[in-house]
Amino acid sequence: MFCYQCEQTAKGGCTKIGVCGKTDSTATLQDLLLHLTKGLAQVAVAARGQGIEDNEVNRFISEAVFSTLTNVNFDDARFVTLINKCVSLREGLKTKVSGVEFGGPAVMAPALDIPGLVAQGKAVGVESDPEPDPDIKSLKHTLTYGLKGVAAYMDHAAILGREDDELYAKFQGLLAATLATGLTLEQAVEAGLECGRINIRAMELLDDANTSAYGHPVPTEVKLGPTAGKAILVSGHDLKDLETLLKQTEGKGINVYTHGEMLPCHGYPELHKYPHLAGHYGTAWQNQKKEFAEFPGAILMTTNCIQDPKKYIDNIFTTGLVGWPGAVHVGNDDFTPVIERALAMPGFEADIDKGSVMTGFARNAVMSVADTVINAVKSGDIRHFFLVGGCDGAKPGRNYYTEFVEQAPADTVILTLACGKFRFFDKQLGDIGGIPRLLDVGQCNDAYSAVQIALALAKAFDCGVNDLPLSLVLSWYEQKAVAILLSLLALGIKNIKLGPSLPSFITPNVLNLLVENYNIAPITTPEADLAEILG
Ligand code: FS2
Ligand code: SF4
């Protein structure tokens, strides 16, 4: 195996087993699925050229690509099913296309067993890319990883009924383009920026899907301590799964808790209305082995990030695209096994007061107090905004973000999103004239909301986003962060500070290009970065 798609990759790439726990066979089956899905995208592009749009193919391509995102699916058997479905959809679609000669992954026949599929996967992995120029290869891999992020957003939006054929067309065109060789540097850069642009559309669709189904988030206090009684913990990112579970647990005497990236769900009126949505438990994904082992109820993983659950394998359930071998997968929206497990477990013995946090400061909530914010900036009460957001992770160096927030002066406001917030989410930072200094915009999936807030501020101040008293201090881990970074670049946003380490798939020349055109810089120390930004 060779995988270097995430921030915690081993030095030079994961080659024997992933730091994430991904085995050689899973990584290789993922490579094969991705390769075959690129072939399916080629056929879908050709079909579209002849006026044929196949929604089952469109949905499948998003699901297959999302399945290969870090910490989503570790189950070889599920990848075999996906590989066979990919080929079956491809062959079905081909029968409707006339006069096109396909090759490569568009004609490849899958082997009949896992060893055979793994052998095929070895021949089409990351290192097999025939691209001779390391910088073009770097940009192509950046594009591939960015597309994994876009696929995640498209899939979440589609689950709530929001799809866009034009977006599918652009996505599949870019996915097929990752097979091309001979791209110029300019073409490879442009493909990356186009990925950023289509990601904005995907995030917009998802924002519309979430807010149409559950209302615009409103500032909401969320209890951190448990309530006595039976319990289910929901992790991942999927709002619909949470709603379905809340409906199915109504009147059953079970309290439902959010974990990790599900925290912002409390801000949505149509989810908050359930009285048994009892609070939030735990912190970011990398702490789950300890937190889940101590949870006295059932656990439902709706999306990334899942870690090896063997210590509590009987208590954890996966749904949607998530998989772990040996964990029960609920694939039909009937969470009865989860509910039965929760009822059989002891639950929490007593109420425990652990305080509370605020969430729900998404674009509508922030814009509803735009006048107050603008006046506070004009009067000098607010000197600067920081967006300190992105993924959390296990590698050392991420304390930077905690210290950055702690050291940010009292006349600055911190906007945050994604699971990186758990480094500081419960800090009492006070307020500036009634505006809380710490504003949780939402999940990584809500980056669109943060972008809209920045664009609205720029409009209000009649300047560009780069001229605002706003600095982006981002942490990355997986491929949704790659997609978001490409979106920010496509919007022309400069001076981003990125950490805790830079992507392994970025070559020195590509990094230089980013520095020259966008002034991206790696994080240094909170003291130095704050002094530079505010100086
Ligand atoms: Fe966090 Fe993990 Fe949200 Fe990423 S829960 S790092 O894949 O999606 O941010
Ligand atoms: Fe390694 Fe990350 Fe790939 Fe897992 S996803 S194998 S940790 S690079």
Interval 159-185 mean pLDDT: 97
24-213 topology per CATH: Substrate Binding Domain Of Dnak; Chain:A; Domain 2 (1.20.1270)
Q: Whose CA is nearest to atom 2 of ligand 1?
A: 305
Ligand 2 pocket, residue 26 CB under 6 Å: no
14-42: pLDDT as tens digits: 999 999 999 999 999 999 999 999 999 99
Ligand 2 pocket, residue 71 CB under 6 Å: no
Binding residues: 3, 6, 14, 20, 237, 261, 305, 391, 419, 444, 478, 480
- CB 440 within 8 Å of CB 502: no
Provide the token pair at 387.
Answer: 């967006």
ipTM of the complex: 0.98
Distance (Å, rounded) from C-alpha 341 to C-alpha 534? Answer: 52
Interval 141-157 mean pLDDT: 98
246-259: pLDDT as tens digits: 999 999 999 999 99
pTM for this predicted structure: 0.98
**What's the CA angle centered on 250, arms 249 and 256, to 5 degrees?**
55
Ligand 2 pocket, residue 503 CB under 6 Å: no
Mean pLDDT, the chain, rounded, equals 97
Q: Name the nearest CA neighbour of 457 among 366, 380, 388, 534.
A: 366
Domains 220-344 and 363-534 share a fold: yes
Interval 431-438 mean pLDDT: 96
Interval 420-441 mean pLDDT: 97
- Out of 1, 3, 23, 479, mutate this one to test ligand 2's pocket (max ligand atoms within 8 Å of CB): namely 3
pLDDT of residue 396: 82
Distance (Å, rounded) from C-alpha 521 to C-alpha 473? Answer: 10
The residue ranges of every structural domain in the chain are 24-213, 220-344, 363-534
pLDDT of residue 503: 97
Distance (Å, rounded) from C-alpha 108 to C-alpha 490? Answer: 35
220-344 topology per CATH: Rossmann fold (3.40.50)
| pLDDT at residue 395 tops 90 | no
363-534 topology per CATH: Rossmann fold (3.40.50)
Ligand 2 pocket, residue 70 CB under 6 Å: yes
Query: Which H or E element spans position 521?
Result: strand 521-522
pLDDT band at 12 (very low <50, low <70, confident <90, very high): confident
281-309: pLDDT as tens digits: 999 999 999 999 999 999 999 999 999 99
